[in-house]
Structure 1
């Protein structure tokens, strides 16, 4: 990933799922229709499905006014296949399905005779995506002719050129349609962005065409290929990039383009290696930045228009006066980047360019800073970008943020809404260039599986409804780059499902049953997300509603008799796995688990290697608190008692231990006993006391 801590200690996991291909196709149709009105009226509509994929599509609509000039318009049509609009540009469309009306914006209300109004939208479909066959403009049916009972205006006829729309700026490629067609995207992380020498210096294998084939076969439409350039550059003032390395980078870009993937390239870890010194060395940094992009622009000048350039990854600055200055510096870099690329000619004159917010953050001031700068460029071929790794306490499992709750949801919707309102609602598309969870840097198990899946379902849904194209950050921990399998089948299945539909889930993916106490019925709350519950299964066998379970509203109850059967001999751990199935999306897995309260044993060790012998007895660790005897918080990040999972502590269920890491003891006071409270997913809490004396540690249960 592109966070500093992850680049210094990148983790790569390579196991997973072989996924099937997702086809994409283009469909277009033109419809000519006409009018019957007292005044000279007539219109022509061209409705084009610019791109289409499983469950989603982008449509462009062009309306030509053949009659008298109009000021204020609405275009109405009926979707023949139940399509639904998720977002639109250059018009407002309501309602979202059925018979819809597109209404002009303030800036495109007037259409002269033979003039055009153009707008577009992103939508969803199921079953088929039949193109509409009838349109009315301001109540008049469009047939491509003028009402024969009305005199033809003296202005040029339909075949004559309309008002000029030329500009000194390059013509638009329709970046909204391009960005929509890029959904979904994937990052080739920890490869060409590595700060070492060579694409394998951070442990990933060299890129192969087979890997690119696998990325496409898994349904991805675009690939971001980050590039770090500093270690390959010569001295000032030219900062010449090593020709062999640049040629290899271009080879991989070309291979991806040859597979009909959209590709995005950038200047990556240079952002924190030398670009961040711009506040104290503005001339030197700008000179090197310009030299870098001059060479990249020249190298890719004639590459396919499916190649996008991204100015700078996670732009950041040090030793300056703060965000106001840093926003201005980021805008300077973006403007210089744009000017260099445009001046290089060739396909770069109209190439889509991607501009980041400061830190690629979603804070309102940073979003507004980029939006203001972009409005001044008068360049239609620009795209905004940001990154999102979730609400931080949840993303790394700290401060008790181990559940996918309303706070996590609010943080996500707030971020997406800010980008939508600042850019998409104004006709500027947005690419979420990286997403994931920060805890993935150490282990994808930092966040409990069910909570993780609920997060990615919600994430995918809101990105889709907001029209934001997403690019999964993968530094090797998700897709195995030689076996082409996925490390977490459930995760990638949930991500893929979210591209086109919602999935339902439940309050937990675990049902804990005490091994020693009497067995009782167990309940879960269903989060239906607009879907309907269709059944509960164990493998391919349907459980009997009324006998094995009941559903009342959103409460799913496993009966006492069913729980008794499912736990069987009640061995510790998972005794049975169920699937709750719904009218759409992926099923929700429910593990039925027998447990007893975990038992921790006294031990001794050192600050560099300290483990607590633990009999988990079927339970799983959720989080850990650390406090001194006076109630003050112990250990790192002492603004909270709840420590960071995998950073300060980690369970090992195979070895039957809980490890307290050196990072924890580095910020624990000598000779002050620390009370640890371990919270388990069953609801059990177990306390344990550790005392540090120099490098020695003793612990008592």
Structure 2
């Protein structure tokens, strides 16, 4: 189809007058003109200051129409922080301060004022903030209609940051709860918003709820359920990016083999979705489809790019010609496989350039350098090669798209091999280094990120974050770097003498401020020393922290830096793990294991002739979780069926288990038919 609408639009925006731009923004936001006039003034006073701390009082005056419920936000110029607050609720994160009204001071009449106070921390300087926003409007003493939030796709995409995926729910095959998550509730979305997320990506798989050709009618109950979730999100000030999700690999991938029928179904679906939501405000955006990829001749990526463009153009024309607010709604187009290899980016850029439409964004996904993100081939750490892959990936997308005026949404990111219900497959500290650097690279290149969460981060049953430490780091690192060390664990052999232990500081441009054990600051010189980037904990401090040296974590020390989240260092006591003989079958084989406080890093497998054993025949280091896994509580290492079935008949394979404490332990397994025997060596 010919993208006529977009070709008109870019030239029109290029010459539009400021007053007309205001009218255009009004159409983007729906009934904006009906909203109350806004205006405010803020009086900020530091009432007391001392080394590292201060008190301040803030008076807010409402100059606009009466309001019931307010939020005041500002950016700290020098990295200050709110440490305790009174007469308001603290919702601050990193460098962004944010406070909300309480029940008794939520209402502000025209000309009415309210005050709150807080204690804060500072380092280096304590410059007063200069810009305050009340309910999103700049407090500059003027009064008027709420300004248009987004004059361009760049502005709207920036306002989405950060985003969160409601994964494995409305996209689940077999129904919303079929992949283990409960029904989406408004409380869930309120929890996400309270954590600081500004948008959600709402993956929806439509195929199972769609009738046959030629109409391909989406079941009304499905459409209304999706609309209910969208409504909840918008009512709670979350932008929504709605898509076609697993349709991409259940039927869309057959486009090269069944072109006319697949295209007709795709267009019919988007016609119905566009019609249902055409009068929704601009805070709802549409994403063409998820991770497009194709069979047949489309499996060739160069050919696949052309099929991807065909889908994106069909999506664009259907939505743009559907009326209502869809004329200027933000539309999000994926690259082939949402990949940021240079040919994929070039193809997508050519498509977007051809549309010549200011309200278009691109989307890519990133789960990291593949061997690291699944823990295979010995990539157990966030090393230089893994970091270089990340930097290059974001660099290409930034250079090709963002720097040419095309905003980029990283619509999914995380690591593949992290889950709340299984043991640690990727060492937590190494994973957190990846998370920190990814968010830094996104900021550096002006991209919005949307965390993929299928339940592994937020417990949808209790509405609590499964690991508050990870959640806090994810929140903080949206706006700030965090420091780390070369490893987040110090292993002390229980049977050996305790000596000084050194780690390398990764300051990431920050100042190292010291070590804490709980609320107690460790003493530099006695408990630890710093020489350049070498941080050394003394034997005396480690002896005290290790206590009775029970196996496992004895103490947690925090390394604090001038910004960002503290970095945890786990002091652990361990000894060399012990494995025992075992028998079993190819469907059930476990090695009795005394872990003795250590943690498994990876497993190497090979035969006497030097060849590799296991399904990943190209590397001796097999995939954690696919070939092997452990159960710490049960005291077993489990060899999975995928690994056992790949063993040569009757030929012993030597397994070398690598442990984070530094030990290696070998073990021999032999498969005879479906029987497996294991021998400790």
TM range (shorter): 0.7 to 0.9
Larger relative contact order (CA 8 Å, sep ≥ 6): 1
Name the one with the larger helix percent: 2
Match of 1:361 among 331, 339, 344: 339
CA distance in 2, matches of 1:54, 1:625: 52
Paired residue for 2:316?
338
- The superposition leaves residues 2-45 of structure 1 with CA deviations (integer Å, 9 ceiling, x where unpaired) of xxxxxxxxxxxxxxxxxxxxxxxx9999xxxxxxxxxxxxxxxx
CA distance in 1, matches of 2:72, 2:214: 47
CA distance in 2, matches of 1:470, 1:310: 15
CA distance in 1, matches of 2:127, 2:417: 38
Match of 2:291 among 283, 298, 314: 314
CA contact (8 A) 1:355 1:383 kept: yes
- 2:476 matched to 1:487? no
CA distance in 2, matches of 1:629, 1:671: 13
The root-mean-square deviation of aligned C-alpha atoms, in Å, is 2.2
- 2:270 matched to 1:293? yes
CA distance in 2, matches of 1:673, 1:126: 67
Partner secondary structure for residue 275 of structure 2: helix
Paired residue for 1:227?
204
Paired residue for 1:130?
130
- 2:366 matched to 1:381? no
- The superposition leaves residues 634-665 of structure 1 with CA deviations (integer Å, 9 ceiling, x where unpaired) of 11111000011111111211111111111111
Match of 1:477 among 456, 479, 487: 456
CA distance in 2, matches of 1:698, 1:126: 67
- The superposition leaves residues 293-330 of structure 1 with CA deviations (integer Å, 9 ceiling, x where unpaired) of 00000010100110000001000100115111110110
- When residues 179 and 618 of structure 1 are mapped into structure 2, their CA distance, relative to the original with a 3 A threshold, is same
Q: How far apart are residue 600 of structure 1 and its match?
A: 0.8
Paired residue for 2:484?
505
CA contact (8 A) 1:549 1:562 kept: yes
CA distance in 1, matches of 2:40, 2:258: 52
Equivalences for residues 517-596 of structure 1 within 5 A: 517-596=496-575
- 2:603 matched to 1:600? no
Q: How far apart are residue 424 of structure 1 and its match?
A: 0.8
Paired residue for 1:142?
none
CA distance in 2, matches of 1:551, 1:656: 39
CA contact (8 A) 2:423 2:631 kept: no
Paired residue for 2:253?
276
CA contact (8 A) 1:368 1:422 kept: yes
CA distance in 2, matches of 1:436, 1:128: 37
CA contact (8 A) 1:52 1:181 kept: no
Equivalences for residues 112-511 of structure 1 within 5 A: 130=130, 173-196=151-174, 198-320=175-297, 322-440=300-418, 443=422, 445-511=424-490
CA contact (8 A) 1:173 1:381 kept: no
CA distance in 1, matches of 2:607, 2:399: 46
Q: How far apart are residue 571 of structure 1 and its match?
A: 2.0
CA distance in 2, matches of 1:463, 1:289: 32
Partner secondary structure for residue 383 of structure 1: strand
Q: How far apart are residue 690 of structure 1 and its match?
A: 0.4
CA contact (8 A) 1:628 1:634 kept: yes
Aligned length: 551
CA distance in 1, matches of 2:452, 2:241: 13
Partner secondary structure for residue 562 of structure 1: helix
Paired residue for 2:611?
632
CA contact (8 A) 2:423 2:629 kept: no
CA distance in 1, matches of 2:597, 2:126: 43
Partner secondary structure for residue 688 of structure 1: strand
CA contact (8 A) 1:54 1:500 kept: no
Paired residue for 2:636?
657
Q: How far apart are residue 453 of structure 1 and its match?
A: 1.1
- 2:664 matched to 1:685? yes
CA distance in 1, matches of 2:153, 2:343: 25
CA contact (8 A) 1:573 1:595 kept: yes
Gapped runs of 5+ residues in structure 1?
A: 1-25, 30-50, 57-80, 84-124, 133-171
- The superposition leaves residues 331-368 of structure 1 with CA deviations (integer Å, 9 ceiling, x where unpaired) of 01101111111100110000000000000011110111
Gapped runs of 5+ residues in structure 2?
A: 1-37, 42-70, 80-124, 133-149
CA distance in 2, matches of 1:126, 1:429: 34
CA distance in 2, matches of 1:563, 1:250: 56
- When residues 682 and 482 of structure 1 are mapped into structure 2, their CA distance, relative to the original with a 3 A threshold, is same
Q: How far apart are residue 567 of structure 1 and its match?
A: 2.0
- When residues 382 and 217 of structure 1 are mapped into structure 2, their CA distance, relative to the original with a 3 A threshold, is same
Equivalences for residues 613-628 of structure 1 within 5 A: 613-628=592-607
